[in-house]
Amino acid sequence: MNIVLNGETYKTDGPLTIGRLLFHLDIDRRRIAVEHNMNVIKKSHYDSTIVNSGDAIEVVNFIGGG
């Protein structure tokens, strides 16, 4: 199935959770925010929010600075 990940088409083997997607992408959950179909998802819901074909996911990294 295809999803849109940060504006680009991304192919997965089938429906999966946001948590599983982040695991496959090797992304550290502690330093990001995730938007699923234009809704910001709480970290506590990453493992229960299902990503289906055609869904749009935006992953934003937090960068510190001074």
- Per-residue confidence band for 66, with pLDDT thresholds at 50, 70 and 90: low
For 2-61, the fitting CATH number among 3.40.50.880, 3.10.20.30, 3.40.50.10260, 3.40.50.300 is: 3.10.20.30
Q: What is the pLDDT of residues 16-34, one digit of tens each?
A: 999 999 999 999 999 899 9
pTM, two decimal places: 0.89
Mean pLDDT of 59-64: 84
> What is the percentage of the chain residues whose pLDDT exceeds 70?
97
- Do 36 and 5 contact (CB within 8 A), yes or no? no
The structural domains of the chain, with segments of one domain joined by +, span: 2-61
Q: What does the alpha-carbon distance between residue 51 and residue 28 come to, in Å, rounded to a whole number?
A: 18
Which is nearest to 13 in space by CA: 2, 25, 23?
2
Note the pLDDT of residue 63. Answer: 75
